[in-house]
Chains A and B, each alone.
Chain A
Amino acid sequence: MANTSGSTYGLTILSPIIEDSRLDVCHSMELRWYLSQLPRDYRGPFAQLSSTYLARLAVMDDVVFVGHPAHEEHLRSRYLVFEANFDGDLDTYLRRMATETKEFVEAVWQHCVGFPGTNDIGAFIVYMKRCQLETTFFFADVNDQTVESTLAALKAQAALTHFLDRHEGQPAAEVQRAFREFYAKLRKSPGLRRGGDESRDIRQEHIPHE
């Protein structure tokens, strides 16, 4: 199945955007405007769609004229590109989109031709599949994990490195006790937040030094 690699699904959707010359602000512009202010981190819709690794939305205005002797041609519509990489199967993901990120889905796809809304989940899934493109070749560097297991691993690695640093050179008996405590705490601690936190993502060096 060209759309999958291991347990990861690669979704590519091309949704034609409504062209309406009567509008003061066209749909593609509204859409771009909406996307520009949508949070990209833990506050955004894809953090909610928790099985998502990486996802993008792009307004594709037209194809490119690469130069003579190629011929110049143009698309008659603009298209919204939606590319997503997630765990699990497509139907589940689409269903979750319609139910858990309803507002976002409607705000975006209302600008697209034939969007039936999210109230009828079945119709929504049919619509999205009509816009789906078959992936010809999909590459995934890691394809045997879940978002959950990956975030857990990242957390464990950071915590362990910190622990090793603090206990470097200590006698083994002390470390054994400390390690037991550390590991128990690690198992119980909440997972890493999906999507990070853009408001805090300043480079270490920009934090004032003492």
Chain B
Amino acid sequence: MTNINGKAYAMNAITPMKPWKTPILRLFFFILGLIKPLQKDLKGLSFIHFARWVVIPRKRFPHLGGSQPRENLRYDYLLFFSNFNGTWNQYIDAFSAVLYQGLDAIWRWSEKYPGSRPVTGFKQYIALVQFDTDYYYNVYPHAATNDVKAALRVNQALTAFAQRSESLSPQEFEGAWLAFRATVAPDLGATGVAPEGD
């Protein structure tokens, strides 16, 4: 399954937009970039490593000359690339359930977008505009973004504790060891192989 490497799924989607709508979308992204709390929900879902949207104006498909014909398009195109954890259905279900306003704000400018609720029509649309990845690399296939963040927290606590504990007496160590274990205990889940995709 070339869209998947370890716990990450590489989704690609391309949707057409009437060129007069493109500036509105750019404005929305501009605002999203400025207002950090708007991104809070994306971070809260905590299953995307990296995601990006790329607008290609209709005259700006790369043209390298030579025998390559110039594109002659009436629509601008919105490209979407996501690196997410979980199955395809899980991902779309989650967005449809809790981030539908944000999704709609981005994709309502694309032609024939049905809205992200109800979810069945939304999934059909995504299946239509999604194209497959031919090659996918993941530096940490055993780790979802939750695992990465947990590991960073644990490592930070571990480094701090290791430094401090150098100078502790055995009695002091006991209390510090307990406190350290309590700190890291929420973040000790094992990493490993992802559940089967669907």
Contacts and interface: CB of A to CB of B under 8 A. Distances in A.
Do A and B bind? Answer: yes
Interface of A: 2, 8, 10, 12, 14-16, 18-19, 31-32, 35-36, 38, 40-41, 44, 46-47, 52-61, 63-64, 66-67, 70-71, 73, 75-77, 79, 81, 83, 85, 112-114, 127, 130-131, 133-142, 145, 147, 149-154, 156-158, 160-161, 164, 172-173, 175-176, 179-180, 183, 192, 194-196, 201-204
A198 to B, nearest CB: 8
Given A12-B79, A136-B54, A161 B188 contact: yes
A77 B110 CA distance: 22
Interface string B128-169: 110111111111111101011111101110100010010010
**Closest 9 CB pairs between A and B?**
A114-B64, A172-B174, A153-B155, A46-B137, A157-B151, A153-B151, A70-B111, A196-B141, A66-B112
16 contacts: A10-B52, A19-B67, A40-B135, A58-B131, A81-B79, A113-B64, A137-B52, A141-B43, A141-B48, A151-B139, A151-B140, A154-B143, A154-B151, A157-B188, A160-B188, A179-B177
B97 interface: no
A156 B159 CA distance: 10
Interface of B: 2, 5-6, 8, 10, 12, 14-16, 25-26, 29, 32-33, 39, 42-43, 46, 48-56, 61-75, 77, 79, 81, 83, 110-112, 125, 128-129, 131-143, 145, 147-152, 154-156, 158, 162, 165, 168, 170, 173-174, 177, 181, 184, 187-188, 190-193
Contacts of A180: 165
B145 A175 contact: no
B67 A75 contact: no
Contacts of B131: 58, 60-61, 64
A141 B56 CA distance: 24
B66 A113 contact: yes
A56 B81 contact: yes
A40 B129 CA distance: 25
B82 to A, nearest CB: 9
Given A54-B5, A141-B43, 16 more contacts: A35-B134, A57-B135, A58-B132, A58-B134, A60-B12, A79-B62, A81-B12, A85-B83, A113-B66, A127-B64, A138-B51, A140-B50, A150-B140, A153-B155, A156-B158, A204-B193
